Amino acid sequence: QQQVKQSPQSLIVQKGGISIINCAYENTAFDYFPWYQQFPGKGPALLIAIRPDVSEKKEGRFTISFNKSAKQFSLHIMDSQPGDSATYFCAASEGGGSRLTFGEGTQLTVNP
């Protein structure tokens, strides 16, 4: 049973557009929510992370929005670029980042 559900499975966006990827979780004890970015042939790399004491975190063009009552969080990529084309994974854990539960992944394609 997938404890973190991610959508959409794939996403195609035009250059300059906004990419939005959503995740929903079930375990209310989760207290750490990272997003990982994976390019073909590479391992995932941490992109941005949030803890539930804030509702939003922004780093450059990347923003996490967090809704604790709905048990949902999302990644927004503003001004999407072809170089952002990758697979994105949301994840969640409780009591630190040791035991991450990952979403299914979203393959993002940004067309030039």
**Binding residues vs other proteins (CB under 8 A):** 2, 4, 6, 9, 34, 41-46, 49, 89, 91, 95-105
CA distance 79 to 77: 7
Buried-state track 28-61, b at ≥16 Cβ within 10 A, e below 16: eebebbbbbbbeeeeebeebbebeeeeeebeeee
CB of 14 to other proteins, least distance (A): 25
Cβ at position 42, least distance to other proteins in Å? 6
Q: Which is nearer to other proteins, 2 or 55 (CB)?
A: 2
Nearer to other proteins, 83 or 96 (CB): 96
Cβ proximity to other proteins, 2 vs 18, nearer residue: 2
CA 24, CA 74: separation in Å to the nearest integer?
Answer: 9
